[in-house]
Structure 1
């Protein structure tokens, strides 16, 4: 048992725990940003009185590409229908 307790107090074990926490925070931040952009797309459409069909909502919520979500936010500002988000320029 002493060896196990020693391992958890070893500097290498402390470094691994620290790196794990930092990685978890970074992933959490990235996921939060993605979720924020998703909500932004849908919120803009709803705020402009544009109906958001389930298929559009599902596609937006499935997206993990920040650049794509940013593009959709810009399109949502001028779209007359939710389908216009996905029209290629």
Structure 2
């Protein structure tokens, strides 16, 4: 029998969460770019270095309606890890 406990471990969940955050960061940049919103290097770095899945989800939702890249950061309640 194969031990599958790793797939439900906290470490595994953390790895999946970071993967989701990375994918959302790419989506945020793609969305802002498609909408013609300028992205500074500092903003791009802040977006791409986020590893918090929930925070990146909030940013992606904000990106849908943002008129500037800075608006996606809003009043962030979660710390950027």
Q: Is the TM value for this pair above 0.5?
A: yes
- The offset of 1:31, in angstroms, is 3.8
The question of 1:66 aligning with 2:53 is answered yes
Superposed counterparts of 1:1-89, under 5 Å: 26=12, 29-88=16-75
Gaps of at least 5 residues in structure 1 are 1-13
TM-score by length of 2: 0.71
- Higher Cα Rg: structure 1 or 2? 1
Distance change (3 Å), C-alpha of 1:41 and 1:62? same
Q: State the aligned residue count.
A: 72
> Could you say which structure has the greater relative contact order, defined with CA pairs below 8 angstroms and 6 or more residues apart?
2
For 1:43-77, what per-residue CA distance to the aligned partner results, in whole angstroms no more than 9, with x for missing partners? 11001110111111000111000000000001000
TM-score by length of 1: 0.65
Gaps of at least 5 residues in structure 2 are 77-81
Distance change (3 Å), C-alpha of 1:29 and 1:65? closer
Distance change (3 Å), C-alpha of 1:78 and 1:42? same
RMSD: 2.5
